[in-house]
Amino acid sequence: MSANRRLLDRSLAAVWHPCTQMQHHLAADGLPLIPVKSGEGAWLTDFDGHRYLDGVSSWWVNLFGHRNPRINAALKDQLETLEHVILAGFTHEPVVQLSERLSALTGSALGHAFYASDGASATEIALKMSHHYWRNTGRPEKTDFLCLAGSYHGETVGALAVTDVALFKDAYAPLIRPAAVLPSPDARLAKDGETAADVARRAAAALEAHLEAHHGHIAALIVEPLIQCATGMAMHDPLYLSLARQACDRYGVHLICDEIAVGFGRTGTFFAHEQATVDGKTLRPDFLCLSKGITGGYLPLSTVLTTDTIYEAFLDDAVTRGFLHSHSYTGNALACRAALATLDIFEQDEVIVANRQLSERLHDGLAQIRSHGRVENYRRRGMILAFDIKGAPAAFSRRFYQAGLERELLLRPIGNTVYLMPPYILSEAECRHLCQRTLETLEAVLR
């Protein structure tokens, strides 16, 4: 029996895999489970020597390749100094430096960083902080939240309240205190003759109407700036963010930007919200949630950045007016150091500039896909390229995934949406491989 097969069998016997109907793996002719032996750059290799180009950055986390020499070196150095320490009553250099540098990246608009380990927790922290801020400032009735159709903010019970993906939510509906769901500015909703900006204006008008009627009880609106990734890479015009920011300000409601997926250069700017302006100035949210790419895909870490105003509303003698959220691994030193090494790479390699060329190269490489008769809604922003399949066959996403693996390609379509979201280190040859194999896989599945 091959080493691949042995590890696969042990995994199926002992590991409950995420976002997976395990029965699909257990069936004799079932979905493959790939035992990964090692990673290098954009490639993953199994025990039989098969390799796969990681076109989804290992669930959108890996920015600079697997086994990145610079992040490895930073982590080895950190291991020799301090691996972790309680962050209540203690502090350390990596967490201080990371907080300073992230704040600087927001133009110092968001001066305080609170840490957790996963994206869903960051969402919950932002929701709790927003409500607690209103409570501390004499508005305890502000307990409601708003989210957008198709939104995804994580899958814990609290985060599901502001997530609008039926597949993830319906089974747990009785456990959830749901938020109001408002129209999405998804540019694909444009009617004949409408532009993406028109759709944004329409969605913003619906937000405005809802705020006018209910603002007294609303704490915050949470949005995924520019791209709602998990619902199928739904992209919108930055104008929506500008109009939402202004409406939130008018009605005394916080704006939470969930950049867990779209932060760290993914959309062509360091943060996605930077592409929106208000009165000629860069838009800033009240809360910014970050995770995924923050450690370059090495270690679990998330953070919520917020303003001095919000932070100061928690300062008081009473413990109960302080923010009440305790997490054992808060501000883990190794994770913070991986994040610092990731920020170093952004600076040393001028990644944002380099990604423009990379995005163009992938766009060019998808020429045949873009003109394919079964492809519609081709769209691209920065390092996310996506398209939908007209009349996709049953179980399209699973079949595409499987056919891709047979062609040294790791892509996981969402419904009938195929997307590329690769690490930022692809060579020209790797770009060609990614685009060519995507086309071949599509043709095989549609045949």
Is residue 224 close enough to count as binding ligand PLP by CB under 6 A? yes
Residue closer to ligand PLP, measured from CB, 251 or 329: 329
> Beta partners for 375?
389
CB of 330 to ligand PLP, least distance (A): 15
Instruction: Determine how many CB atoms are found less than 10 A away from the CB of residue 434.
Output: 25
Please pick, from the candidates 147, 261, 276, 435, the single residue that binds ligand PLP as defined by CB under 6 A. 261
| Residue nearer to ligand PLP on the CB measure, 120 or 333 | 120
- Is 161 among the residues that bind ligand PLP (CB under 6 A)? no
Burial 64-80 (b: 16+ CB within 10 A, else e): bbbebeebeebbeebee
Q: Given the complex with ligand PLP, which of 336 and 435 has the nearer CB atom?
A: 336
User: How far is residue 342 from each of residues 10, 92, 265, 268, measured CA to CA in Å?
Assistant: 34, 18, 11, 16
Contact 421, 266 (CB under 8 A): yes
Give me the residues paired with residue 385 across strands: 380, 420
Instruction: Answer yes or no: are the C-beta atoms of 124 and 201 closer than 8 Å.
Output: no
Nearer to ligand PLP, 236 or 433 (CB): 236
226 lines the binding site for ligand PLP (CB under 6 A): no
Q: How many residues bind ligand PLP (CB under 6 A)?
A: 15
By the rule CB under 6 A, 153 interacts with ligand PLP: yes
How far is it, in rounded angstroms, from Cα 219 to Cα 221? Answer: 7
Assess 118 for contact with ligand PLP (CB under 6 A).
yes
State in angstroms the smallest separation of the CB of 294 from ligand PLP: 10
Q: What share of the chain is helix, strand, coil (3-state, %, to 5)?
A: 45, 15, 40
Q: At its nearest, how many Å lie between ligand PLP and the CB of residue 145?
A: 14
82, 216, 279, 383, 416 from 99: Cα distances, Å: 18, 33, 28, 25, 39
Tokens of 26: 């257990």
283 binds ligand PLP (CB under 6 A): no
Q: Which of residues 368-387 bind ligand PLP (CB under 6 A)?
A: none
| 160 touches ligand PLP by CB under 6 A | no
207 scored as a contact of ligand PLP (CB under 6 A): no
| Token pair in block for residue 92 | 């350390």
Pairing of strands 287-290, 384-389: unpaired
CB 168 → ligand PLP: shortest distance, Å? 11
Q: Minimum Å distance from CB 367 to ligand PLP?
A: 29
186 binds ligand PLP (CB under 6 A): no
* Cβ neighbours of residue 241 closer than 8 Å, sequence gap 6 or more: 223, 225, 226, 257, 273, 275, 276, 283
> Does residue 230 touch ligand PLP according to CB under 6 A?
yes
**Pick from 111, 119, 263, 296: which binds ligand PLP (CB under 6 A)?**
119
User: What is the smallest separation between the CB atom of 371 and ligand PLP, expressed in angstroms?
Assistant: 30
In angstroms, rounded to a whole number, what is the distance separating the alpha carbons of residues 118 and 184? 25
CA distance 338 to 168: 30
Q: Which of 57, 78, 291, 441 binds ligand PLP (CB under 6 A)?
A: 291
SS3 at position 346: helix
Burial category of 59 from C-beta neighbours within 10 Å (exposed 0-12, middle 13-18, buried 19 and up): middle
Map tokens 């992040």 to a residue.
71
Give the Cα separation of 232 and 110 in Å (integer): 30
258 binds ligand PLP (CB under 6 A): yes
* 295 near ligand PLP (CB under 6 A): no
Name the residue whose CB lies closest to ligand PLP: 119
Q: Please, which residue, 203 or 261, has the CB nearer to ligand PLP?
A: 261
Out of 152, 264, 271, 400, the residue judged to bind ligand PLP by CB under 6 A: 152
68/151 with CB nearer ligand PLP: 151
Residue 154: burial class (beta carbons within 10 Å; 0-12, 13-18, 19+): buried
Cβ atoms of 416 and 397 within 8 Å: the answer is yes
The verdict on 229 binding ligand PLP (CB under 6 A) reads yes
| Cα 148-111-127 angle, rounded to 5 deg | 30
- Provide the minimum distance between the beta carbon of 120 and ligand PLP in the complex, in angstroms, as a whole number: 4
CA separation for the pair 218, 66 (Å, rounded): 42
- State which residue, 229 or 435, has the beta carbon closest to ligand PLP: 229
- For residue 69, the minimal CB distance to ligand PLP (Å) is 26
User: Taking CB under 6 A as the rule, does residue 116 contact ligand PLP?
Assistant: no
Residue 151 C-beta: closest distance to ligand PLP, Å: 8
Instruction: Kindly tell me which of 148 and 362 has the beta carbon lying closer to ligand PLP.
Output: 148
Alpha helix segments (H runs only) across 38-142: 57-60, 69-79, 93-105, 119-136
Give the one residue of 260, 338, 362, 409 binding ligand PLP; rule: CB under 6 A: 260
Under the rule (CB under 6 A), what is the footprint of ligand PLP? 118-120, 123, 152-154, 224, 229-230, 258, 260-261, 291-292
